[in-house]
Chain A
Amino acid sequence: MHTPSPERLRARHLGKSFPGVTALDDVAFTLRTGEIHALMGENGAGKSTLIKILTGVYRAEAGTIELEGRPFSPASPREAEAAGLSTVYQEVNLIPTLSIAENILLGRQPRRMGLVQWGAMRRQAARALERLGLELDVRRELRSISIALQQMVAIARALDVQARVLILDEPTSSLDEQECQALFTIMRRLRDQGLAMAFVTHFLDQVYDVSDRITVLRNGRLVGEFATDQLPRLELIGKMLGRDVSEFAPAPDAPPATGADAPPARIFLQARDLGRKGAVQSVDLSVRQGEVVGLAGLLGSGRTETARLLFGIDARDHGSLEVEGQPAAMRSPREAIRRGLAFCSEDRKTEGLAPNLSVRENLVLAMQAGRGALRRLPRAEQQQVADHYIQALHIKTPDAETPIRNLSGGNQQKVLLARWLAMQPRLIILDEPTRGIDVGAKAEIEKLVGSLRERGLSVLFISSELDEVLRVSQRVVVLRDRRKVGELEGELDEQRVLNLIARA
């Protein structure tokens, strides 16, 4: 990027505050023609607010925006889109009950004499997906495909408009490596065609992989704008966290705490030939006391489905399950909880949060359910538990009575973790515990897993990020096509796992 290309989007002196919080203060942001521009910052840095102003969800209280030299202040996402600015959001913001084709073309369906042409629409949608290298039956309902695919559909939708500016708000948070690369290929192609893209992500690798420039925000203020190739990784992290680089060293890959020579702990949970029609074919799995077992595999390999069987959400068709040597029917989550299991779902929104209830209530819910309806946890004790975990897990919330929907994703995740930790479970199943949360919170959660293990807790760790699985686990069970294909212990490295996954 020697000669800066012309500016396509230019925001100056943006300010926005909400009762009690200044979300943006004198922030500038520039997007140039044909670039991928990473927008970086910790949670609460103001990225979301900035994006929502650009896309017309909020209105700025101060400052100006120009799109291709003309003043631009969209009153709604519709106006923004009409002016040439499209957005892909972190949480898939599509209509789960409609078909893929409609989701791509809703609002601009091909029409003849005012009537929607379904055939033409399906073809156009299929073409839009083809551009992303995807082949899907576009008639399928959106909710019947994985979240990753849904995200691709969202991208296809955003690209289908003749967009001048594309904003990608954490589009990769639920994509696996292969899918990410497919997306990046597309992004590069679009860049070469002159599209201006703003890219928000928590993955540093991806920033360095694909972006040309970086804008860093912190606490609602602009830290600076940098060329990617001139900003070393550590420096970037330092700028995001507002710390000196020297005090922040990369986390060493902690070796497994229990040496190979120590006597193996007792097996807590043992599953044999676990399966359910349409979900899991056959999985053997054991977790020892104080052991972190990783569950690796591509999306759709049956990781979450296995967890659901273990936790009694779905009933298994075949196979056996033993907890501490006792056969367990696992007919309901209640039974699982009674047997000392806990399950932190990957889908915070629909399976985790009670959004309108307070942090405290969300936190004590499982604990209270364990005690039963009649033995109510006294209010003071609830408060104590809530305060304890808010402090212990560094949950950022004004107080324990705030509705949990007002918290950021990372903090919501911590509350859900705390919900289960408060139960003092023997085994906790963490399904994608770090999805959609920032670097700092991610590291905290990884650290937490380690400390749980030291306290003798067993953990079943599920994540799409292989390096993360390898970092925290002592043993990794690899799934492919809804069955177990291998198990690795001791020397864990990425190549061995990938080999197992890839072995046809």
Chain B
Amino acid sequence: MNRWLNHRTLPLLATFGVLVILYGVASMRYEGFFTGRVMANLFADNAVLGICAIGMTFVILSGGIDLSIGSVVAFTAVLVASLVGPGGWHPVPAMGLAIVLGGLFGLGQGWLIHYFALPPFLVTLGGMFFARGMAFVVTKESVGIHHSFYDMLLSMHLGLGGRATLPATALIFLLVLVVAVGVSHFTTFGRNVYALGGNPESARLMGLPVAGTRVGVYALNGVCSALAGVVNTLYTGSGNPAMGMGLELDAIAAVVIGGTLLAGGVGFVEGTLLGVLIFGTIHSALLFDGRLNSWWLRIAIGTLLLLFILLQKEITRRATAQARPGT
């Protein structure tokens, strides 16, 4: 079996193929789509979704699910905005506090899930309601942030030549991605997550720290969500308690399109990036087109998602069929 082409990496390659085809077709249709700027935008505009999806990848790999992320993003965003705006804090401690709280929130959810053997779906559904309510407790309307530190962060750009630049949000996303890929492949925690999702009973009998891993995954996801909330304040220069509704479903979709199985144990953080990009490319292409009204837009998003997921399955199937005799 080839080192790079085996049945674990195949879905990943198929997904990448789908992304290339999708982007290619869109580039041929729409002038100005195949530019560094649009590509850079994909990263900048999907940073919040991407960071959430990365956290979600770990949760799903461990065999769980987390519905609370959209609310946690909103909560941390308004917390930072309120502390910096009306509160007069410096952004750095405010962000720090938000990320710590996000982590603790995830920790709490993980603790409930693990020690009381509760279904993650329900616990995090509770978490979703709770964090949303708390976001509105912090402030009922969106709060703008005006601070020199934010201006500094906003002016940070990594030029890629031409008109393509990566703003701070995209850079944070890429940083999180690199760290997450590292954690998933090269730390015992990351490998334990896979083991836990692959077979929790075996993981326990193999002497792996099941409790720590499961609680840790939710804590990690809490941190990711909080970070996404912070990135969102950068993206919008404000915090809004109503933001991020339905973000969890987009994140789950991105993770699953990226080839991670909801059953746990199988998938890659790298795949999630591809899932986010496919999601983003479909949206961008339809925006570029601009001729669809609200309902046709929804229909088109759904149809394209369906067709490209089928395409991904088909590519995987064919490649598997071809790879098999060689093994």
Contact = CB atoms under 8 A, between A and B. Distances in A.
Contact, chains A and B (beta carbon distance below 8 A): yes
B202 A76 contact: no
B207 interface: yes
B191 A93 contact: no
A116 B191 contact: yes
Interface in B185-214: 185-188, 191-192, 194-195, 197-199, 201-209
Interface in B1-36: 1, 3, 6-8
B160 to A, nearest CB: 29
A87 B3 CA distance: 32
Contacts of B192: 106-107
Nearest to B209: A78
Given A95-B202, A139-B3, A111 B188 contact: yes
Contact of B324 (A95, A98, A140, A278): A278
Contacts of B3: 139
Given A96-B199, A98-B198, A141-B8, A116 B186 contact: yes
B325 A278 contact: yes
Helix, strand, loop or mixed for chain A's interface?
A: loop
Nearest to B203: A95
A109 B188 contact: yes
A78 B205 CA distance: 8
A192 interface: no
Nearest to A143: B198
B202 A87 contact: no
B300 interface: no
A98 B207 contact: no
A37 B7 CA distance: 42
A284 to B, nearest CB: 23
Interface residues of B, number: 30
Contact of B195 (A55, A81, A82, A98): A98
Contacts of A97: 194, 197-199, 265-266
B186 A277 contact: no
Contacts of A118: 185-186
A278 B325 CA distance: 6
A96 B205 contact: no
A77 B206 contact: yes
A210 to B, nearest CB: 24
B186 A87 contact: no
Nearest to B324: A278
Interface string A131-164: 0000001011100100000000000010000000
A95 B62 CA distance: 12
A391 to B, nearest CB: 33
B205 A116 contact: no
Given A93-B201, A93-B202, A114 B195 contact: no
B80 to A, nearest CB: 30
Interface residues of A, number: 33
A81 B203 CA distance: 13
A277 B8 CA distance: 21
Interface in B305-327: 324-325
Contacts of A139: 1, 3, 6
B1 A95 contact: no
Contacts of A102: 191, 194-195
A405 B206 CA distance: 22
Contacts of A140: 1
Interface in A58-103: 76-78, 80-82, 87, 89, 93-98, 102
Contact of B206 (A57, A106, A278): A106
A116 B208 contact: no
Interface in B258-308: 265-266
A249 interface: no
A98 B194 contact: yes
A115 B208 contact: no
A471 to B, nearest CB: 35
A57 B265 contact: no
A291 B204 CA distance: 46
Contacts of A55: 205
A116 B202 contact: no
A141 B207 contact: no
A76 B206 CA distance: 10
Contacts of B187: 114-116
Nearest to B199: A95
- Highest count of chain B CB atoms <10 Å: which of A80, A118, A140: A140
Given A95-B195, A97-B266, A107 B185 contact: no
B320 to A, nearest CB: 11
A96 B198 contact: yes
Contacts of B8: 141
A109 B198 CA distance: 18
Nearest to A52: B205
A78 B324 contact: no
Contacts of B188: 107, 109, 111, 116
B265 A95 contact: yes
Contacts of A109: 188, 191
Nearest to A111: B188
Interface in A16-72: 55, 57
A141 B182 CA distance: 20
A115 B181 CA distance: 12
Nearest to B201: A93
Contact of B205 (A82, A93, A111): A93
A142 to B, nearest CB: 9
A96 B185 CA distance: 17
A329 B201 CA distance: 40
B324 A107 contact: no
A95 B187 CA distance: 17
Nearest to B182: A115
Nearest to B185: A116
A278 B321 CA distance: 10
Contacts of B204: 76-77
A96 B188 CA distance: 17
A80 B207 CA distance: 8
Contacts of B209: 78, 107
A126 B78 CA distance: 53
9 contacts: A77-B205, A97-B197, A106-B192, A107-B188, A107-B206, A137-B1, A144-B7, A277-B324, A278-B324
List the 4 closest A-B pairs by CB distance, nearest first: A78-B207, A95-B198, A97-B198, A97-B265
Given A95-B265, A96-B265, A98-B194, 19 more contacts: A55-B205, A57-B205, A77-B204, A77-B207, A93-B199, A93-B201, A94-B199, A94-B206, A95-B198, A95-B202, A95-B206, A97-B198, A98-B191, A102-B195, A107-B206, A114-B187, A116-B186, A139-B1, A140-B1
Interface of B: 1, 3, 6-8, 182, 185-188, 191-192, 194-195, 197-199, 201-209, 265-266, 324-325
